[in-house]
Amino acid sequence: MISVALIEDLKDIRDPLFEFLSFQPEFLCEIKAESVEDFLEKAKGFLPPDVILLDIGLPGISGLGAIQLLKDRWAEVNIIMLTVFDDTEKIFQALRSGAVGYLVKNTPLIKIRDAVIDSYGGGAPLSPEIARKVVRFFESPQNKIDSPLTEKEKQIVAGMVDGQSFKMIAANLGNTIETIKSHTKNIYRKLYVNSKAEVITKSLRGEI
């Protein structure tokens, strides 16, 4: 089972979401907290969670400020931001600090469940509108950075970040799936990674 913790200050959001997650057979939900400080106190009696759903606008230590604190304590924990904030600065601050996913609070409950499972499996779940902001950011000329990747490889990475399958990427770029998979192997080799999730994470953190 996937152990899940929730840090959310609003009771009207915290309680229904925690109840929903608790009823999922894949999850073991043990800790819900209204602040980072509250969570750290409650966590003393439990094993480290696999996934933490973390709000940004919290009393005391902010969600953004808590990411590194939580990662320092539990290096393997997967942190998904769950917030009303969708501005680019906060998105990238969260991802560069170590969050693996970023969801807005109007995300349907079933999608939040899927995001938790995805992150535990090595994915980098993003709300669709957040994924679009990330893609637009890297498409902007002033945000382009030196990269070992070719233009075609960058287009493939952009497709991965946008949540496209290899079949969709191939169709959009006018290539065969075999060609896309061949390019993907080159991407893995150049970036020293072994999975699509690792490529997406590097891209979201501005490391490509």
- CATH, residue 189: 1.10.10.10
pTM: 0.71
> 1: Cβ–Cβ under 8 A, 6 or more apart, which residues?
26, 27, 28
| Kind and range of the H or E run holding 72 | helix 63-73
| Kind and range of the H or E run holding 191 | helix 177-191
Question: Residues 13-51: pLDDT tens digits?
Answer: 999 999 999 999 999 999 999 999 999 999 998 999 999
- Per-residue confidence band for 12, with pLDDT thresholds at 50, 70 and 90: very high
Question: Do both 85 and 118 map to the same domain?
Answer: yes
Find where tokens 């073991």 sit: 28
The answer to whether residues 50 and 3 touch, using CB atoms and an 8 Å cutoff, is yes
Query: Alpha-carbon distance 91 to 114, whole Å?
Result: 20
State the total domains in the chain: 2
Question: Do both 29 and 59 map to the same domain?
Answer: yes
Query: Alpha-carbon distance 155 to 188, whole Å?
Result: 14
The reply to whether 136 falls in a domain is: no
Q: List the domain range (segments joined by +) for residue 193.
A: 145-204
The reply to whether 6 falls in a domain is: yes
